[in-house]
Amino acid sequence: MGKYDIIDKHYRESREVLADLIGAELHERCVRFPPDARDMEWEDPVFEKRYRHQLRDLPAPDGVMIAMLARFLDLEIDHEIEEIDRVIKHDGLKLCCPTALHEATFHFLWRDLLHHMEGRASEMASEFKRKDKHRVVDSLRKRALLVQSPGEGSVH
């Protein structure tokens, strides 16, 4: 193995570790839901107005919801907005959002997780590529599977 192979291997492994750490952060945001509104960094006044007083009433996500969140994050990474619209328009969220409060949880977390991942990616000194972001989402999926209760559906 040449010196460049070692550098390539180390670079790839460190990107995988970073992706896993960010995936752990995303999972933590799901597990510790809802966050305290006072601890939130509300960058968007419309988003804050919509959720600030509603957060404490929102239900925590289950494995099915986290699976759908992961799917939507993957679609966002690939800029598959039409597919997201199709799922929403054809009641694809009903499986993970049986009530309006569950749907609010989903929409809050969708945006929160995406912004957290994008923020962490922009903090990286080197460019965090699309495949790295997909690794983050895969890490979220794997962690959700590890803590999924036996009665819940698959998180794929």
Domain tally, the chain: 1
Angle between helices 130-147 and 3-31 (to 10 degrees): 50
Would you say residue 141 has pLDDT above 60? Answer: yes
In a domain, 154, yes or no: no
In a domain, 19, yes or no: yes
Would you say residue 31 has pLDDT above 70? Answer: yes
In a domain, 115, yes or no: yes
What integer pLDDT is reported at residue 107 of this predicted model?
Answer: 96
In a domain, 156, yes or no: no
In a domain, 155, yes or no: no
Q: Please, which pLDDT band fits residue 8 given cuts at 50, 70 and 90?
A: low
Hey, what amino acid is at 80? Answer: E
Give the span between the Cα atoms of 139 and 27, in whole angstroms: 8
Q: Please, which pLDDT band fits residue 104 given cuts at 50, 70 and 90?
A: very high
Q: pLDDT tens digits, residue range 112-139?
A: 999 999 988 888 766 778 999 999 999 9
What integer pLDDT is reported at residue 147 of this predicted model?
Answer: 67
C-alpha to C-alpha distances, 54 to 28, 30, 134, 139, nearest whole angstrom: 20, 16, 30, 29
Host domain of residue 141: 3-147
Q: pLDDT tens digits, residue range 16-27?
A: 888 999 999 999
Q: pLDDT tens digits, residue range 51-87?
A: 999 999 999 999 999 999 999 999 999 999 999 999 9
Contact predicate 125/73, CB 8 Å: no
In a domain, 152, yes or no: no
